[in-house]
Amino acid sequence: MSNVGTVKHIPKETRYNFLQMGAPASYVAGLGRGASGFTTRSDIGPAREGPSAEAIAEAMAKRGEEVPDPDALQDPDDERNLFAGTVYEADDEEADMIWESVDQRMDARRRAKREASEAEIAAKERAMNPKLQTQFADLKRSLSGLNDADWNAIPEAGNLTGKRRKHNLRLEENQNGRSYAVSDTVLADAASRNVILGELDAAQQEVSLNSLYTRRQTEHIQNGGYETPAGDGTMTDFVSIGNARDKVLSLRLDQASKDATNGSSTSVDPRGYMTALNSQIIQTDAQIGDIKQARQLLQNLIQSNPKHAPGWIAAASLEVHAKKMVQARKIIAEGCEKCPKSEDVWFHAAELNTPENAKVILGKAVQHVPQSVKIWLKAASLETDTTAKKRVLRKALEFIPNSVRLWKETVNLEDDPEDARILLTRAVEVIPTSVELWLTLARLETPENARKVLNSARARIPTSHEIYIAAGRLAEQSPSAVGDVKFEDDAARRQALAPQVDKLMAGAVARLTKAQAILPREQWLQEAERCETEGSPLTAQAIVKATIHLEVEEEDRRTVWLEDADRAEKGGFYEVARACFVVLLETFPKSPSVWRTAAEFEKKHGTPEAVQEILAKGVEHCPHAEVLWLMAAKELWVGGNVKGAQEVLARAFQQNEDSESIFLAAAKIAVETGETEAAQQILQKARAQADTDRIWMKSAVLERQLGKLDEALVTLEQAIAKYPHFDKLHMIRGQIYSDRNEVVNARNAYAQGCKACPKSIPLWILSSRLEEKAGVIIKARALLEKGRLYNPKNDELWAASVRMEERTGGPQQAKTLLARAMQECPTSPTLLAMGIFMENPQQRKSRSVDALKKAPDHAVVIVAVARLFWGERKIEKTRQWMQNAITADSDWGDAWGWWLKFERQHGEKERQEAVISACEKAAPHHGPTWQSVSKDLANVGKSTREILELVADRLE
Amino acid sequence: MSYFMTHLHSGWHVDQAILVEEDRVVCIRFGHDFNEDCMAMDETLYGVMEKVQNFCVIYLVDITEVPDFNKMYELYDPCTVMFFYRNKHIMIDLGTGNNNKINWPMSDKQEVIDIIETVYRGASKGRGLVVAPKDYSTRHKY
């Protein structure tokens, strides 16, 4: 069936003829193409591999074919069937004998001839390829003629196979050339397992095993101790060897693991043991081998090239490494003799010897190499006595007068500044190029002389910026050195000094530029910062002023300088930052933003006077920058100088005649100081000049505050006619009416407002509140709904609706409304927080988890959670969550109010105070309750503390 | 639409249909013409028949008329579609766990075309198992 399952090529015309043909009789489906099934769902029914044998047989029978008999085609020789069961009898045997004899007879015929022909063929074969043995057969035969002496004279054959070499290599590889002494326990164990060995005495066992272990069988066998049968037995007992080896390994592993875990064994203090091990000098074979080899190498080196100093040093260090100090000293002494001109050799010799000997050695050394600073310093360091040290160093300076290091050491040893000064004076004469020495000298001199010193230093080293900076600092610290002026006041002194230092630094930079030794600006700034940290602010400023313009393109000067200032400010280098600002302000006097940044910087880190000074200058340069005017006025006002503030604002008016914000600021100051008339006048003027919606609103508010409600209403009418789309005007009007209980008017006002500004949410809420107050709940509800229609997805309106329902319609209605609200604004924190408290107490917790998930960092939700904890009397937890709420949004006044309320109930006085002071610092502005309290007319002008207390009272 | 499509009426016809196809995929729908699932599937198959005729031929087999393959191919579902290429059953990884066949009705013609094309491309490269362009596992539905 070789064609089963192959796709034959059938011409296209006849290919699909089968569709019209009938199927052959009893065709087995799938068989014709050798199809096989699969089993994936044996739970439903059995699958099978193609058609089964029975199906095939059945089909064949149907087709009329002979079903083949399985036994039909058997091997006839295999007497499986015919005689399979019979017994071998006597006549059978006889028959076999007869057949045997026939065979023999046939074999005997022509035997001679056959054998002859076979022998001939064999001989031919042998001749064709002869055996080695037969080739040397004659030589072998002649061996019989040799006598004993001849035999002895035959040389031994060398081992040319390389077998031994290979063997050794393997040994080394496996064991690193080591052999192990086997521990007694292993031997005992192996012995007890091996019965044959039990018959031998212990010594023999040990040696035999040992011998096996160290693999030196040959040696021991040569010794001849093991020609016993037991010895032979051990030779082949590989099992015990394997066991012993395993045991050794396990012992070693145990030990290793104990070491690793720092000792589980109790008898040994593991740490002590380890330290003992550390202190031991372990010289492994490899190290010793290395040392030996290195020693030989170095020996060769110093013998072949005795004038090579490093060779001697290396040889000596090797001996030191091998802990042979005597040998090392000997070698280095020899080295000193051979290379007396090498300072290193002498130095090492001194190192290797005791201090007394070292002194002698160094004494010799300076005779040979008097110019070596190293040796002189070593000699000085060996002296314990200061005077002796001084003596050595002085001597050294005689030989080497131009070593900065020696001079410094010498000067350092001097206790008396006067002596040091004299020494340094001499030093700078000898070494005029050392900046360090000059600076040290300048530091030691009196200010007048220091100036001279620095001047001469500058003359000698025109490329050193350090000298210039030192000069600047000197000028700053001791002004008498520069001029004979005395100042009582520190600030005055600074002011007088600053230009001098600036000039000095500018000159310095110019000269350094000339000398082509100018530093990159980054480095200059670092120098300035260092000067500031070392207490020379003026020098720091001078450096900045002189160098900040370096390497900056014309166009990005401003950004780069601002960055510099910012970085300095962050690093805490305020003087540097101030200097940056000074330069900035000088360069960009017309830029209000620069003035503002500078003022803010001074506000943060400087005195109020400095701020005012900067702002005053700023408004001079940018008279149209309202921000600067306002800042200046505010600074003055905050500082308590109301008059000054008013003056500033008056000046601001002159410059900016129709500026809304300045008018408002002026009016605010007037109101705050109680000059309401003035305020009204100002606002009237503002209405005429600036004529903006805010001014109108403010004037209406002022009139309302003053109780002149009718006037306020008149103003509002005018304002609304002008600005019908400013919602606050409508709100104020409505509030005034509702305050006066003129519901109809208020309603009209709100209706007009809602029509003009349908997007104003407070307006909608206020108007609905009015209706609610008036008792017309349906209208209130309708208004809010209308508001929602205009402002979809607005959670404030929804919250207002829900609250109104809560107040009037009962909790159930509020709940359904809230559900609708949540559908529209699913992540609104206000609604989520409301939702928590509208649930019954059991479900509040899960609701709060939900809310936290949806709006995780909103103060409203966090406060709601805190209140839940509060309800459960979990004081600490509540406090923590209150803190969280504040961290999330410190501008949210309600959170502060809740916290204070909580602390009033559960906390001590100190905690309440802490909350209040923290709140004062944060100065919150937002939060519905907070805003309603702080904007209440009754609370105008109250401090944060008072408002916070009011809020805490109002919250429920 | 089953009456517009070629039916195979015996096991021999099925075998011949698979054997004579030299360079096209043979796609066989096993089921009943009156079954709802089959009707849906036939509708789709009829729709794509013309489009895929260059590389696929589609036949329908009634599993009551031709029960020979029911056990072999586990034809227990109301509607089963199998693919063959050069007398080799081509398996498709549909993400359903059964790579042997498509045993649910498909209504998107483009998806069916995509699957047939994938089978053709894979099978003509000698692959016995191809991966369907879309994952049909039910877990995405939940």
> At B83, which amino acid appears?
F
H/E run at residue B129: strand B129-131
Chain A residue numbers touching B66 (CB-CB < 8 A): 29
Give percent of chain A above pLDDT 90.
2
- Please check the confidence at residue A269 and state whether its pLDDT lies above 80: no
Chain B residue numbers touching A40 (CB-CB < 8 A): 74, 98, 100
| Residues in Cβ contact with A410 at an 8 Å cutoff, skipping those fewer than 6 apart | A390, A393, A394, A397, A423
User: Per-residue confidence at B18, pLDDT binned at 50, 70, 90?
Assistant: very high
Judge: B22–A7 Cβ closer than 8 Å, yes or no.
yes
Provide the residue ranges of all domains of chain A, joining segments of one domain with +: 857-956
Q: Identify whether B139 is part of a domain.
A: no
Minimum Cα–Cα distance from A40: chain B residue: B98
A305 DSSP assignment: -
- HSE-CB of A705 using CA atoms within 13 angstroms: 21
**Token digits of residue A430:** 């000898």
CA distance B21 to chain A (A): 7
- Whether the CB of B10 is below 8 Å from some CB of chain A: the reply is yes
**Please, what is the end-to-end C-alpha distance for chain A in angstroms?**
96
Give the largest CA-CA distance in chain B.
43
Domain count, chain B: 1
Minimum Cα–Cα distance from A23: chain B residue: B12
Among A677-686, A865-874, B33-42, the range with the most confident prediction by mean pLDDT is: B33-42
Chain B residue numbers touching A33 (CB-CB < 8 A): 15, 18-19, 87
- Whether the CB of B83 is below 8 Å from some CB of chain A: the reply is no
| Residues in Cβ contact with A633 at an 8 Å cutoff, skipping those fewer than 6 apart | A645, A646, A648, A649, A652, A665, A669
Judge: B72–A47 Cβ closer than 8 Å, yes or no.
yes
Lowest-confidence range among A5-9, A794-798, B37-41, B43-47? A5-9
**Of A400, A394, A385, A392, which Cα lies nearest the Cα of A422?**
A394
Tokens 């508001």 belong to A787
- Whether the CB of B53 is below 8 Å from some CB of chain A: the reply is no
- Whether the CB of B14 is below 8 Å from some CB of chain A: the reply is yes
Which pLDDT value is given to residue A232?
Answer: 46
Chain B residue numbers touching A36 (CB-CB < 8 A): 72
Average pLDDT, chain A: 74
Q: Are A508 and A465 in contact (CB under 8 A)?
A: yes
- Left, alpha or beta for B110 (phi > 0: left; psi -120 to 50: alpha)? alpha
Hey, which residues does B84 pair with through a beta bridge? B26, B89
- Please check the confidence at residue A208 and state whether its pLDDT lies above 80: no
Chain A residue numbers touching B15 (CB-CB < 8 A): 29-30, 32-33, 35
Minimum Cα–Cα distance from A41: chain B residue: B74
A177 DSSP assignment: T
Q: What are phi and psi of A602, to 5 degrees?
A: -65, -35
Q: Are A766 and A799 in contact (CB under 8 A)?
A: no
Q: Identify whether B36 is part of a domain.
A: yes
H/E run at residue B62: strand B56-62
Taking the C-alpha atoms of residue A220 and residue A767, their distance in angstroms, rounded to an integer, is 119
Per the model's pLDDT, the better-predicted residue between A763 and A97 turns out to be A97
Give the residue from B16, B66, B80, B99 with the most A CB atoms within 10 Å of its CB, the best one to mutate. Answer: B16
CA distance A53 to chain B (A): 14
Judge: B76–A38 Cβ closer than 8 Å, yes or no.
no
Q: Identify whether B18 is part of a domain.
A: yes
Which pLDDT value is given to residue A875?
Answer: 84
- Please check the confidence at residue B92 and state whether its pLDDT lies above 90: yes
> At A256, which amino acid appears?
A
- Please check the confidence at residue B74 and state whether its pLDDT lies above 50: yes
H/E run at residue A397: helix A386-399
> What does CATH list as the number for A857-956?
1.25.40
- Whether the CB of A758 is below 8 Å from some CB of chain B: the reply is no
pLDDT tens-digit readout, B95-141: 888 899 999 999 999 999 999 999 999 999 999 999 999 888 876 55
pLDDT tens-digit readout, A22-46: 888 878 888 778 888 887 766 665 5
Point out the residue among B13, B20, B87 whose CB comes nearest to the CB of A23. Answer: B13
pLDDT tens-digit readout, A884-925: 888 888 888 888 888 888 888 887 888 888 888 888 888 788
Q: What are phi and psi of A352, to 5 degrees?
A: -75, -20
- Whether the CB of B13 is below 8 Å from some CB of chain A: the reply is yes
Give the largest CA-CA distance in chain A.
164
pLDDT tens-digit readout, A837-887: 777 777 888 888 888 888 777 788 888 888 888 888 888 888 888 888 888
Chain B residue numbers touching A29 (CB-CB < 8 A): 10-12, 14-15, 66, 68-69
Which pLDDT value is given to residue A176?
Answer: 59
Judge: A18–B14 Cβ closer than 8 Å, yes or no.
no
Chain B residue numbers touching A32 (CB-CB < 8 A): 12, 15, 19
User: Per-residue confidence at A813, pLDDT binned at 50, 70, 90?
Assistant: confident
Judge: B68–A23 Cβ closer than 8 Å, yes or no.
no
Chain B residue numbers touching A28 (CB-CB < 8 A): 11, 68
- Whether the CB of A162 is below 8 Å from some CB of chain B: the reply is no
pLDDT tens-digit readout, A621-660: 766 666 676 777 777 666 667 677 777 777 776 666 666 6
A463 DSSP assignment: T
Which CATH number does the domain housing residue B112 bear? 3.40.30.10
Taking the C-alpha atoms of residue B66 and residue A167, their distance in angstroms, rounded to an integer, is 77
Which pLDDT value is given to residue A85?
Answer: 65
Mean pLDDT, residues A106-115 taken together: 87
Hey, which residues does B88 pair with through a beta bridge? B85
**Of A783, A762, A786, A763, which Cα lies nearest the Cα of A772?**
A783
**Token digits of residue A617:** 């200058």
- Please check the confidence at residue A224 and state whether its pLDDT lies above 50: no
Taking the C-alpha atoms of residue A596 and residue A615, their distance in angstroms, rounded to an integer, is 8
Which pLDDT value is given to residue B119?
Answer: 95
CA distance A3 to chain B (A): 11
Q: Identify whether B74 is part of a domain.
A: yes
> At A156, which amino acid appears?
E
Among A368-372, A567-571, A583-587, B129-133, the range with the most confident prediction by mean pLDDT is: B129-133
User: Per-residue confidence at A163, pLDDT binned at 50, 70, 90?
Assistant: low
DSSP helix/strand/coil, A542 = helix
Q: Are A581 and A600 in contact (CB under 8 A)?
A: no
Q: Are A349 and A379 in contact (CB under 8 A)?
A: no
Judge: B68–A29 Cβ closer than 8 Å, yes or no.
yes
Q: Identify whether B102 is part of a domain.
A: yes
Taking the C-alpha atoms of residue A24 and residue A824, their distance in angstroms, rounded to an integer, is 73
Which pLDDT value is given to residue A167?
Answer: 60
Point out the residue among B10, B12, B76 whose CB comes nearest to the CB of A41. Answer: B76
- HSE-CB of A646 using CA atoms within 13 angstroms: 15
Minimum Cα–Cα distance from A26: chain B residue: B12
DSSP helix/strand/coil, A648 = helix
Q: Identify whether B19 is part of a domain.
A: yes
Lowest-confidence range among A27-36, A90-99, A487-496, A561-570? A487-496
Q: How far, in whole angstroms, is CA A25 from its chain's centroid?
A: 81
Show the domain range for B28: 11-131
- Whether the CB of B77 is below 8 Å from some CB of chain A: the reply is no
Mean pLDDT, residues A704-712 taken together: 74
Size of interface A-B (CB pairs under 8 A): 86
Q: Identify whether B1 is part of a domain.
A: no
- Whether the CB of B16 is below 8 Å from some CB of chain A: the reply is yes
Judge: B76–A35 Cβ closer than 8 Å, yes or no.
no
Q: Are B14 and A33 in contact (CB under 8 A)?
A: no
| Residues, chain B | 142
Mean pLDDT, residues B64-90 taken together: 92
pLDDT tens-digit readout, A115-156: 999 999 999 988 887 888 878 888 888 888 888 888 888 887
**Token digits of residue A563:** 């960055």
Q: Which residues of A767-783 are buried (b: 16+ CB within 10 A; e: fewer)?
A: bbbbbbebebbebbbeb
- In A, residues 17-46, which contact B (CB 8 Å cutoff)? 18-19, 23-24, 27-30, 32-41, 44-46
Q: Identify whether B61 is part of a domain.
A: yes
- Please check the confidence at residue B32 and state whether its pLDDT lies above 90: yes
Taking the C-alpha atoms of residue B20 and residue A18, their distance in angstroms, rounded to an integer, is 9
Which pLDDT value is given to residue A215?
Answer: 47
- Whether the CB of B18 is below 8 Å from some CB of chain A: the reply is yes
Judge: B74–A47 Cβ closer than 8 Å, yes or no.
yes
Point out the residue among A7, A40, A45 whose CB comes nearest to the CB of B87. Answer: A7
Among A141-155, A600-614, B52-66, the range with the most confident prediction by mean pLDDT is: B52-66
H-helix segments, A757-840: 761-774, 777-790, 795-808, 811-824, 829-838
Chain B residue numbers touching A48 (CB-CB < 8 A): 71-72
How would DSSP label each residue in A267-300? SS-HHHHHHHHHHS----HHHHHHHHHHHHHHHH
CA distance B128 to chain A (A): 14
Mean pLDDT, residues B28-49 taken together: 94
Handedness of CA A847, A852, A855, A857 (dihedral sign): positive
CA distance A846 to chain B (A): 25
Chain B residue numbers touching A23 (CB-CB < 8 A): 9-13
